[in-house]
Structure 1
Amino acid sequence: MFECAGTQFDPDLVRQFADFCDSDLGAAEREVAARWLQSLDPELVNSYWQLNCVPSAPPQQQADDLFHRRLLESMYDGVVFVDVNGRIAYWNRGAERLTGIPTASVQQRQWTPELLQIADERGQPIAASDCPLAAAIRSGVQSLRRLSISGRSGRTVAVDAHTMPVIDGNGATLGAILLLHDASSEISLEQRCQSLYEKATKDPLTQVANRAELERVHEMFISAHQQQQAPCSLMICDLDHFKHINDTFGHQAGDEVIKSLAALLKSACGPGDMVARYGGEEFVLLCADCDNATAARRAEQIRKSLARIPQPSLDGRCVTVSIGVTEVQPGDTAETMLRRADRALLMAKAKGRNRVVQLGTGSVGMGQQPKRSLWPFGASSSVELLTEYLVTPVPLKLAVEKLRGFAVDHQARIIKTEPQRMVIEIDDRHSGRLRRFGDRPVCFTFDVQLVERRNHGDGSRPPQACPLCTKIRLTVTVNDSRERRREEMLTRARRLLISFRSYLMASIDEQPWAESMLTRAKRLLVPWLSRNS
């Protein structure tokens, strides 16, 4: 100070300060203290001392605070507290471990989503206006979202972000807590479970459902539509001459053709539909809320589309497909429905391939009341329940094949076969309809007579140009003469008749074919004469 006296300091003040330092400083301090203490108001002086007096917390509260702090610090999840002004007031060790950011670098720092590079469920960065913490402070509502953040070494970490507003006893918002739970292992487990499920239910080549999944879903598919009284259909597709493709171009080329058909079927799916690989080059398409006619049209579109697609693995050649179509019918199970569609597919193959064949007409209703027997012999052991005159728009040979399919699916016994007649016995325990526990099965006899005619329509076409159709006369009898069971047996017979009409694609014949007098007399008299012989 002496060196700078005269330039930076006043020389007189420097000399006086030096003399003061050499004097008795203790006496000077006592004199000054006595002077300013006497000039102050005692109450005011005491209030100054009380400002520095921090009241000690009760022992229980100190223990609770210590417990909460230790609990937060030992948590594996990250905990962040942001005050109402958006500043970070707390950042626990779990947040340090998860993000790689130490507490000292973020304490009292303004919170922004960019701090952790938070991204939403779609992987897009979250804007400040969409920040969960800001939303919790504004709305006072907690939320839980699956987000991702930038963790240690810049790696992306999936987290379950739980934000909770902090509100005091007066309802004022003090801030919000962000709880970050590492969900990487959970996502990995979910992905593994999903992968295992896909391997168990999907065909590895085509990525459509496999046969096991089809068998699991098919029963539920039929049951759901029957409960809602809605139609549903099934089509089974089979690539034509597939063995020739494998033998000529190799199995890899065949796999590419199979994948091409699978892709076409998937593109043709509607809401609720399902595509499954049934085996080899065969695929099944379940069509929800779809009747037989609609399913046949869709199958025809699929057939035409595939025939127009050049196959690169076959040097640009095209392939064709045969398709069998059917609609669910009363009493159907998954097995009977699939067998009927498979028969339709075999018919398409037999007719030359590259075509669609449908069997059955679905759940059609009854069009006429049953006719009573002309012979009122109450003591007869065989009771005629009903007689129906039907017509099906197919030739006689095909109608007989459909009738055989009906007999096979219902486990019927063929009693007699003639060129234009077939007699079968059906036990209604195999009809698939649920009966009361005490009901006994009933054996019905179906006497089916068929005759081939030409459908002249409105008469505008010459006779030879008219398509062939088959007229059917069906008589249903039962070996039970008890009158009290007649209505019950008639109801059961009508259920079987609905299925019969569906199999043969038959409708009520408005112009029934005339039966010769000799045939009619033989049909009525022979049973009566045999009983009284």
Structure 2
Amino acid sequence: MQFIRDLRNPDSELSRTLNNLYDGVYVVDTTRTILFWNKAAEAMTGYSAAEVVGKSCKDDILNHIDENGILMCRSSCPIVKAIACAGTSIAKVYPKSKSGKRFPVETHVSTVMDDNGAVVAAIEVFRDISHQEEYRIIQEKFNGIIRKYVSTATYSDIQSRIAGNTPAGQTRILDLSVLYLDVVNFTGFAEKNSADATVRLLNDLFGICDVITRECFGDIDKFIGDAIMAVFVDANDAVRSAIKILETGIPELNKIREENNESCIAIRIGINSGLVLQGDVGTIDRKDLTVIGDTVNTAARIEKSSIPNRLMISEATLARLDEELHQLFVFHHEVELKGKSEPMKLFILQM
């Protein structure tokens, strides 16, 4: 076949073209005997053409493994797959160079057929993707770090903007439930304890609240000193999150603090529901994706009106609750809020 003859002739146009490619290229026959090995393959693997041509690629040459560390040369070899289906095969694999070091490559295999449609050879083109892998690992580590400092909504919005799905600076009006939580008499605690102890308390509390908020499908929008502001699409999730923090999170935290001879803490929680404006707020150099509006301000005021280690909600939140949760609340008191023509009714979780 002319194709095979041209491969074996180093002066043929085909051989010269393949040797000038940036990607590694080698050609095997149907028994996987190597017929051609280009210059880029030599540079990437350390094996010269003279060392490998005439040998089988499964004879301790490259020894590809997949992403799970499984040796592919005797089982799921991309070349074998391509030859078997007389088609193509694409895979990410880790060949071993002559020096013994493995490196990641993206490999594409295509078959060559004779005039009768029978497969006579397979061409594997492979590209070293070490830099891409390094970038991917760094990016994943970076993402992991960033997610500790921004809300899930902000992180998702950034990803959407990078993908070009969301225009920068776009604002939205959303119907959300806003939860505010803070530590009772935090100023007094900070005055009596060291800076390290104060920060440790907040990190322990915020860690518990973050886990529970996520479990209940919420998102911590921001940390404000000793306070947390979280948002939920469903008021029921907001209330379940608050109940779990009060009934499980805080008792567990205080149990550990008592065991360490540290003082227990109390918190207040308030929830309000309604329309909020979500958008970028800040300066040209730094912005936060956050929610603002009367609903948010009222949630903060409800929290300040609450009782230590109790949950208080607005009538707007109560109206959004399923019957199961609705019946857990009773009217507590009315509060006059600046800018409101009518007093706001507040409801408290029965203990």
TM-score, normalization by structure 2 = 0.70
Match of 1:399 in 2: 334
Q: Deviations over 1:284-338 (max 9, x none)?
A: 33334x22x44213211112323223446982545443322233x2x43331232
Q: Provide the residue aligned with 2:325 in structure 1.
A: none
1:154 counterpart = 2:95: no
Q: Which has the higher helix share?
A: 1
Q: Any idea what SS the aligned residue of 1:399 has?
A: strand
Counting only pairs closer than 5 Å after superposition, residues 56-75 of structure 1 correspond to structure 2 as 66-75=12-21
Q: 2:199 aligns with which of 230, 251, 255?
A: 255
Distance, in Å, in 2 between the alignment partners of 1:161 and 1:147 is 7
Query: Residues 338, 120 of structure 1: CA spacing in aligned structure 2 closer, same or farther, 3 A cutoff?
Result: farther
Superposition RMSD in Å: 4.1
Highest RCO, 1 vs 2 (Cα 8 Å, sep ≥ 6): 2
The 8 Å contact of residues 23 and 41 in structure 2, kept in 1 or not, is answered as yes
Are residue 209 (structure 1) and residue 139 (structure 2) matched? no
Q: Read off the aligned partner of 2:200 and give its amino acid letter.
A: E
State the one-letter code of the partner of 1:304.
E
Which letter does structure 2 place at the counterpart of 1:354? N
> How far off its partner does 1:91 sit?
1.6
Deviations, residues 177-210 of structure 1 (Å, cap 9, x unaligned): 22211111122334445555566x44xxxx2525
Amino acid in structure 1 at the alignment position of 2:243: E
- Residue 255 of structure 1: how far off its partner (Å): 3.2
Distance 1:355 1:281 in 2: 17
Q: Pick from 238, 246, 263 the counterpart of residue 295 of structure 1.
A: 238
Amino acid of the structure 2 residue aligned with 1:91: W
Q: Give the 5 Å matches for 1:314-463.
A: 315=260, 317=262, 318-327=264-273, 329=274, 331-333=275-277, 334-336=291-293, 337-348=295-306, 351=307, 353-362=308-317, 394-395=331-332, 398-401=333-336, 404=337, 407=339, 424=341
Rounded Cα–Cα distance in structure 1 between residues aligned with 2:217 and 2:12: 58
- Gap regions ≥5 residues in structure 2: 3-7, 159-168, 278-290, 321-328
For residue 255 of structure 1, what is the amino acid of its counterpart?
A: V
Q: Distance in 1 between matches of 2:193 and 2:258?
A: 8
Paired residues of 1:208 and 1:275 also in contact (CA < 8 A): no
1:113–1:128 Cα contact (<8 Å) kept: no
Matching of residues 475-490 of structure 1 within 5 Å:
none
| Aligned counterpart, 1:285 | 230
Partner amino acid for 2:130?
A: S
Q: Quick one: distance in 2 between partners of 1:246 and 1:151?
A: 59
CA pair 258-97 structure 1, distance change in 2 beyond 3 A? farther
Distance 1:159 1:255, change over 3 A: farther
TM-score (norm 1): 0.49
Contact 2:335 2:346 in 1 (8 A): no
1:174 and 2:120 correspond: yes
Distance 1:286 1:152, change over 3 A: farther
Identical amino acids, percent of aligned pairs: 20
- Compute the displacement of 1:129 (Å): 2.1
Query: Following the alignment from structure 1 to structure 2, what is the Cα–Cα distance between the partners of residues 147 and 271?
Result: 40
SS in 2 for 1:97: helix
CA shift at 1:74, angstroms?
A: 2.5
Gaps of 5+ in 1: 1-54, 56-61, 227-231, 366-391, 409-423, 425-447, 451-502, 507-533
1: distance between equivalents of 2:258 and 2:33?
64
Structure with the higher strand share, 1 or 2: 2
Max radius of gyration: which structure?
1
Compared CA separation, residues 196 and 64, structure 1 to 2 (3 A): same
* Secondary structure of 1:295's aligned partner: helix
Q: CA deviation at 1:173?
A: 1.5
User: What is the identity, as a one-letter code, of the residue corresponding to 2:334?
Assistant: A
Deviation at 1:243, TM superposition (A): 4.2
Task: Tell me the number of residue pairs that the alignment of Structure 1 and Structure 2 aligns.
Answer: 307
Contact 2:94-2:104 at 8 Å conserved across structures: yes
1:83 equivalent in structure 2: 29
CA contact (8 A) 2:216 2:237 kept: no
Q: Is the 8 A contact 2:10 2:16 kept in 1?
A: no
**Matched-pair contact (CA < 8 Å) for 1:242–1:254:** no
Change (3 A) 1:253 1:325: same
Counterparts of 1:219-238 in structure 2, within 5 Å, are: 232-238=176-182
Q: Give the direction of change, closer, same or farther, for the CA distance of 1:171–1:193 in structure 2 (3 Å limit).
A: same
Q: What is the DSSP-based 3-state SS (H/G/I as helix, E as strand, rest coil) of the residue aligned with 2:112?
A: strand
| C-alpha contact 1:147 1:159 (8 A) present in aligned 2 | yes
Deviation at 1:211, TM superposition (A): 10
TM-aligned CA deviation for residue 87 of structure 1: 1.6
Counterpart position of 1:438: none
1:418-470 per-residue CA deviation (whole Å, 9 max, x = no partner) reads xxxxxx4xxxxxxxxxxxxxxxxxxxxxxx6x8xxxxxxxxxxxxxxxxxxxx
